[in-house]
Amino acid sequence: MKRKNLVACMFLFPFLLFSQNDLLSSIDKSDTTGITEAAFKGLKIVNFESTKMVNEKEFYFIVFHRFGSIKTGLDGFFGLDFANTRLHFIYGFSDGFNLSIARSSFNKTYDISGKYRFMQQSDDNPVTVVGYSQIAFNTLLDEPVLQREVDLGDRTSFTQQILISRKLSDKVSVQLMPTYFYEGYVNYAPQDNSQFALGFGGRVKLSQRFSLNMDYGWHLNRADGSPFVNPLSIGVDIETGGHVFQLHFTNAQPTFESGFLGNAVGDWGDGNIYFGFNLSRVFNF
């Protein structure tokens, strides 16, 4: 299979002093101006990005943690012995434009992403529309795996999404995520490098501080016989002062977009799923 070289160059790492800010101040504002806010409480629904944005001059630090399969039982302490962690740093250059950098232990992957709002739900607009772009680099990939020389194109994956959300009521929000992603190297040879998916997500507010979240990615051109499956994740958001905890179960252990969309291997039917959490902390300076 032919592989294209992808060359990208983005640099971001805000190195500034910051102080704590209460995350709840931006979560459930009342709609006094005709603008609908807080369709989702977290920047992620579960695995997929939500349409929530980081505000101008805010700096977010997010820890994504996925344990191993709970199917390992006591021998693997229900997955706790086999963890995948992603550290994610996000800065809001404006209320409608964010940039971020992250590092995941899955394939020792580094990624850079941008998030930008086109439209916000209001009396005049029925939906919020946000773009999300990510480029990721697999630094674990080496020549013994490919049995040939490894170049930048092999290591690189790229994801482009349009996030479309609507807050149906104070308690219910839904989101649609048309997605294109490209993997320079695919783990299943018959699979095309260029891949398409359609994501679905939703949130049901259970109380002032709790909500039930779900997202699902429908892969549209998966190769026949592929060992990989569509990612399905279900979780709960828990808000505390300055923090949002997201606790969930998912059949995808990777936490960056091309990873969970293209490389999910768990099976809800036989209990081969992963417990994990997302923890956000926001600073203002």
pLDDT above 80 for 42? yes
Phi, psi for residue 90 in degrees, rounded to 5: -130, 140
Q: What does the mean pLDDT of the chain come to?
A: 82
Please name every residue paired with 137 in a beta bridge, in sequence order, or none if there are none: 110, 156
Q: Are 146 and 108 in contact (CB under 8 A)?
A: no
Instruction: State the pLDDT at residue 267.
Output: 87
Question: pLDDT tens for residues 26-37?
Answer: 444 443 345 666
Question: pLDDT tens for residues 124-151?
Answer: 999 999 999 999 999 888 777 677 788 8
Higher pLDDT, 111 or 76: 111
pTM equals: 0.82
DSSP string, 135-173: EEEESS--HHHHTS---HHHHEEEEEEEEEEEE-SSSEE
Q: Are 132 and 176 in contact (CB under 8 A)?
A: no
Calpha distance 56→34 (Å, rounded): 21
Higher pLDDT, 1 or 44: 44
Phi, psi for residue 58 in degrees, rounded to 5: -95, 145
